[in-house]
Amino acid sequence: MTGEDHLLLIGEIFVDFTLPKANADSKLRLGGIVHAARGLWAAEQSFSVAAVCPAYLVENAQKYLEHLGCAEFIWLADVKGSPNVIAIGDPTEISHQGYEDILRDEKYVEFQALNGGLARFNKCLVFPGKFDLPFLAELLSDEAEISFDIAYDLSNPKALTAFKGRILALITSTSSDLFLENAADDVTRLIDDLRPLSPNSVLLKENRGGSRLFDLESNTLDEIPALLGETVNSVGVGDVYSAVFVSLVGPDIRDAAWKAARVATCYAQTTYPDDLRRDAGRSLGLSVDQMRGLGGTVVPWHDRPKFQIYFAAPDFTYVDRTFIDQALEALTYHNFKVRRPVFENGELKKGSTFEQMHQMFTSDVTMLKECSLVFALPEKRDPGTLVEMGWAMAAGIPVITYDPLKENTNTMVVAGSSAYSDNLDICLNGLFDAMSNLRATDQ
């Protein structure tokens, strides 16, 4: 095969606008496939870009990408009717990130006239968007190895039929509609839906729970752990994972996934390019055997409900539910099975008898015994929550304590918890770590 052997990124370029919050300023930067380009730059991988974007972005995007070492910038298609601006509500992916593609319903794409198309590139990674995939298939070589990140903007795998026989890898995530609609209960359904396209592998990114690589040629499965730290910005992390993975694929596809996961972790923990490249270089300096030896967090999406979580909190109808609802939304988003004693066993009325209170106590303790972990939110130093936490600690059940107002900085609470913080992101990491340990012991 002759032609360009470095990776060609194909997809849309956006402007990412992270909305301001009480504790964080707004942030504006180039997104879309530019995230993938940053990851390749950090991993010192050569690449070119075929961009789908509005005319006003072309000059700035080209200059920026060339600064990252982009070998060639091709304006593949013009986006019209929309500025290609994404508003982002939650950059840390504690729960739904609240992406809004401005004027998305007015958007349409017109391909540019190209001299020779894209047929000289031997390896491509496509991020589908609002552009015609069958037309793109005609522009690419019949001999090219083409991978797709199908986490977003692809509702039906049949849209990739024109690429059958050329597909190296299909990559998706547990937050994608494609996954949630087809594989939320059983991943084999998704794999079976993708097999007719004849990909060599399927990579499933599972957020803080790691990822799974399905090698369809050897019919093997590899679990790649996540390395959890405080998330600075999760936007584009999956794109980085996909790009570095595809660029590094060699004789052992599993090695590429392990290395790519490391670079993606670095991307989540800083928005400063120089720090990113330094951290990525350090991570890639390790051998894959060393990476495996260091371990990490592995909690596949479909295993999470097996470890029930007791929600210890003043989960009552009459209290300010701001933090409670925030925590419940996050736990639900990550597919945890949450047991809510107040919701399931009822809410006692004022003036209840001793017998009624004893019955409620017995029901709550029975539920707690059925659970593998406790997620506690002892708001206003709620005595019932604190008792439940102590009971669990004495029973050896891991307790994750989310204390948003720092009301419970008591030695017994802090030291007795498997994880304690006023930051929900850190508490979620602690929960994933604790569940990963339970899963490893259970196997």
* SS3 state at 218: coil
> How does DSSP assign 251-296, residue by residue?
S-HHHHHHHHHHHHHHHHT---HHHHHHHHHHHHTS-HHHHHHH--
> Higher-confidence residue: 3 or 214?
214
Q: Is the predicted pLDDT of residue 1 greater than 50, yes or no?
A: no
CB hemisphere CA count around 7 (13 angstroms)? 29
CA distance 9 to 17: 22
Give the tens place of pLDDT for each residue, 251-272: 889 999 999 999 999 999 998 9
β partners of residue 24? 21
Confidence of residue 23 (pLDDT cuts 50, 70, 90): low
Given this model, what pLDDT does residue 332 score?
A: 96
Instruction: For residue 40, count other CB atoms closer than 10 A to its CB.
Output: 26
Give the tens place of pLDDT for each residue, 29-69: 999 999 999 999 999 999 999 999 999 999 999 999 999 99
Pairing of strands 27-32, 4-18: antiparallel
Give the tens place of pLDDT for each residue, 162-182: 999 999 999 999 999 999 999
Class level of CATH domain 302-442: alpha beta
Given this model, what pLDDT does residue 91 score?
A: 78
**Token duo for residue 412:** 């017994």
CA distance 250 to 4: 17
Per domain, the residue ranges of the chain are 4-298, 302-442
CA 36 to mean position of chain CA atoms: 14
Given this model, what pLDDT does residue 22 score?
A: 63
CA distance 368 to 272: 44
Please, which residues have CB within 8 angstroms of residue 255's CB and are 6 or more apart in sequence? 248, 288
Confidence of residue 5 (pLDDT cuts 50, 70, 90): confident
Give the tens place of pLDDT for each residue, 226-243: 999 888 888 999 999 999
Q: Is the predicted pLDDT of residue 72 greater than 90, yes or no?
A: yes
> How does DSSP assign 110-173, residue by residue?
EEPP-SSTTTTEEEEEE---SS-HHHHHHHS-TT-EEEEE-SSS-S-GGGGGGGTT-EEEEEEE
CA distance 180 to 190: 10
CB hemisphere CA count around 409 (13 angstroms)? 6
Given this model, what pLDDT does residue 443 score?
A: 72
Size (the chain), residues: 443
Please, which residues have CB within 8 angstroms of residue 147's CB and are 6 or more apart in sequence? 124, 125, 126, 167, 168, 169, 170, 171, 242, 246
Given this model, what pLDDT does residue 73 score?
A: 96
CA distance 140 to 101: 28
CA distance 142 to 137: 9
Q: Is the predicted pLDDT of residue 348 greater than 90, yes or no?
A: no
**By C-alpha distance, which of 241, 201, 196, 239 is closest to 220?**
201
CA distance 66 to 51: 13
Share of the chain above pLDDT 70, in %: 98
Share of the chain above pLDDT 90, in %: 84
> Higher-confidence residue: 148 or 350?
148
Q: Is the predicted pLDDT of residue 318 greater than 90, yes or no?
A: no
Confidence of residue 381 (pLDDT cuts 50, 70, 90): very high
- Domain 4-298 fold is UDP-N-acetylmuramoyl-L-alanine:D-glutamate ligase (3.40.1190)
> Higher-confidence residue: 2 or 361?
361
Given this model, what pLDDT does residue 3 score?
A: 64
Average pLDDT value for the chain: 93
